[in-house]
A and B are shown apart, each in its own frame.
Chain A
Amino acid sequence: MWDYTERVKELFLHPKNAGEVENPDGTGEVGSIACGDALKLTLKVDRTTNRILDARFQTFGCASAIASSSALTEIIKGKTVDEALQITNQDIAEYLGGLPKEKMHCSVMGREALEAAIANYKGEPLPREKQDIVCHCFEVTGEKIRQVALENRLTTVEEVTDFTKAGGGCGACIPDIEKILATLWETSPVQLEPQKPKRLTNLQKIALIQDVIEKEIRPRLQADGGDLELVDVDGPRVVVALRAMCASCHMADVTVAGIQEKLRELVSEDLVVESA
């Protein structure tokens, strides 16, 4: 059972501003029924002052999605559109007295709907184009991941999943999310991957290859029911044997190429990976 605040429960049981504004000046629709939550936000805006006169929501989703939507409409009423755009998902969560971390994506959905509605009011195209989709299960763009990660100082894939749902479905995009995070925090002190040492003895190299396979590669293969065994290291040649589901997988070549890429990145540029 989720640990919801009284504020969340109150706004879920007695939501404020539910429904649709008649002849809205701005409409924002985000999410989809397949993803499990969706929000349609409609705004009445004074064209001369750009002030939001009324805001209403319709939400398909859980208690925190409904409460976050209701909270959003309460926060933005009376603000100008530019003031409203300053609102972050954190503001929505704070208004609710906090959300369980797995439910933070509900507050992110509110902020997204707001952006979409204001863009619609201004007659601008949607702030994010769909071509940059990283997580196909939940249709999350790389741009959204970067933005939410920056604003909420997210450094791990699990946190990104809690806030955006990305990576929470089939998990195929987890390496992409890791890359985004790595690029994002490149200049920050957050260390995401082990540093690549300069020169290695044979023994060190083998140990490092084993380490990378154990920590970086096998867990990901195992997540899909596959597995891998290191057979031999001979100069730059790394011989591996694919096991379990990988052994019969028609994507085996792609898997081997991926392993080579990871080993080159973390161990040595000249490595060549072969399947036994």
Chain B
Amino acid sequence: MTGKTIYLDNNATTAVAPEVLEEMLPYLKDAYGNPSSMHTFGGRLHKKLDEARERVAALIHAEPEEIVFTSCGTESDNTAIMSALESWPTRRHVVTTRVEHPAVLNFGKHLARKGYRVTFLPVDSLGRLDLDAFHAALDEDVAVVSIMYANNETGVFFPVELLGQTLRTRDIVFHTDTVQAVGKIPIDVRRLPVDMVSISGHKLHAPKGVGALYVRKGTRFSPYIIGGHQEHSRRGGTENLASIIGFGKACELAGHHLHQEQTEVAALRDRLESELVRDCPGAAVIGDTSRRLPNTSNIGFEFVEGEAILLRLDEYGICASSGSACTSGSLEPSHVLRAMGVPFTRMHGSVRLSLSRYTTEAEIDQVIGVFPGIIRELRALSPYGR
């Protein structure tokens, strides 16, 4: 590998913001107390916990008491679904989609094995939710609907507000995974008819190992991790204090940069995408480009394989990800692209490029400079597409 890293895999994880690390350090060093302690040394840290809670709440316009800190997005997702099932024990039907993150998708499959009825709603070729199937799935037996706000692979939005309005009238608990959306676009739970919302720290420049679940006031709740009285007995376990403090700072910063994400980051993404599609043979954007995250681009390159593209990019220090079978560790390509019915010729050569507010113009120029050559070389090796 030569030169420095060009990180275009921000939907996988993000760099910890320097201000976040700065804010965390004292709590990894001298201020190591337990916020639950009676003594001042530990107990005073409760203030920091409250402050972080306020900052996270502010980003999504929630009340601080509505925020439960967790260890990650996956825990938030599992907790939300399980809480609804525990709260409505007679209802045995869970509705979600075929393109959810594994934290919801595989939890759904697990519930199906446990005897629950689980409906996985289909999407169309642009990754948009099948609304007829959504309405058809709703019955008296539905305990919870869990549908993501924005897809991690394509960035495509689901109409969460619209879905929530329907679910409100039917009195069905609605959980949405906003892990990819929070910090990139404005999320306002005052206007969004949802009951629970998952957030992850490391997707918005906080460290890994911290997340949150928003639980709207008045929503029946049952803890998933049972232990001490932490988080008002909604999540047992001593708080990951330093990371929670960092998470709070990261949310504050994200709030300040929301406009930049939607303008500067989006402009960089659009330029990268349009130039790659123009200069690389057999390239096309995957997903609905009119309604998606400002930082994400998923491009399918015909007749070349994704892992090969990634490893050639790696030689230039460029980090991206792919929905190809070879990168997943399983033999099947991405469940999202399969659900969308992306043709095999393109699916195996899909590459996701996800930017952040730290991505620079110069980095994008470099990527645009080397990418088409890589695609042409790999196509020359391929028996197809000539």
**Contact mask for chain A residues 99-141; partner B; CB cutoff 8 A; 1 contact, 0 none:** 0001000000000000000000000000000000000001000
Surface stretch bound by B, among A36-44, A184-192, A201-209: A36-44
Q: Which of these, B109, B118, B305, B315, contacts A61 with CB under 8 Å?
A: B305
Contacting pair B324 A62 (CB below 8 A): yes
Q: Is the CB of B113 within 8 A of A63?
A: no
Q: Which of B117, B329, B381, B382 gathers the greatest number of chain A CB atoms within 10 Å?
A: B381
Assembled-state Cα–Cα distance A59/B381 (Å): 6
Residue of B nearest to A29 (CB): B383
Q: Indicate if B214 sits at the interface (CB-CB under 8 A).
A: no
Judged by a CB distance under 8 angstroms, whether B332 is at the interface is: yes
Q: Which of A231-273 contact B (CB under 8 A)?
A: 243-245
- State the total of A-B contacts with C-beta under 8 angstroms: 86
Q: Are A36 and B348 in contact (CB under 8 A)?
A: yes
Does B169 touch A at the CB level, under 8 Å? no
Contact status B113-A225, CB under 8 Å: yes
Report the Cα distance A161→B330, complex, angstroms: 10
Chain B residues bordering chain A, tally (CB within 8 A): 34
Bound form: Cα–Cα A140–B226 in Å: 48
Residues of A within 8 A of B116 (CB): 244
Which of A18, A37, A63, A222 is within 8 Å of B311, CB to CB?
A63
Inter-chain CA distance A205–B345, complex, in Å, is 53
Q: Which of B113, B303, B308, B327 has the most CB of A within 10 A?
A: B113
B201 to chain A, nearest CB (A): 23
Q: How many residues of chain A get a CB closer than 8 Å to chain B's CBs?
A: 35
* Residues 198-219 of B at the A interface (beta carbon under 8 Å): none
Residue pair A62, B115 in contact (C-beta under 8 Å)? no
Chain B positions within 8 Å of A243 at CB level: 115
B127 within 8 Å of A (CB atoms): no
Asked whether B331 lies within 8 Å of A161 as measured between CB atoms, the reply is yes
Known contacts A60-B382, A62-B305; is A169 also within 8 Å of B109 by CB? no
Is the pair B326, A61 in contact by a Cβ cutoff of 8 Å?
yes
Q: How many Å lie between the Cα of A29 and that of B306 in the bound state?
A: 21
Q: What are 28 A-B contacts with C-beta separation under 8 Å? A: A2-B307, A9-B311, A33-B344, A33-B345, A34-B344, A36-B326, A36-B331, A36-B348, A37-B326, A38-B383, A38-B384, A39-B383, A59-B382, A60-B305, A60-B383, A62-B324, A63-B307, A168-B330, A168-B331, A169-B331, A225-B109, A225-B118, A243-B115, A244-B112, A244-B113, A244-B114, A244-B116, A244-B117
Chain B residues close to A by CB (< 8 Å): 109, 112-118, 303-308, 311-312, 315, 324-327, 329-333, 344-345, 348, 380-384
Beyond A40-B383, A60-B382, A244-B116, 11 extra complex contacts between A and B, CB < 8 Å = A36-B305, A36-B325, A36-B331, A59-B381, A62-B326, A63-B308, A169-B332, A243-B115, A244-B112, A244-B113, A244-B114
Q: Which 3 A-B pairs have the closest CB atoms?
A: A168-B331, A62-B326, A62-B307
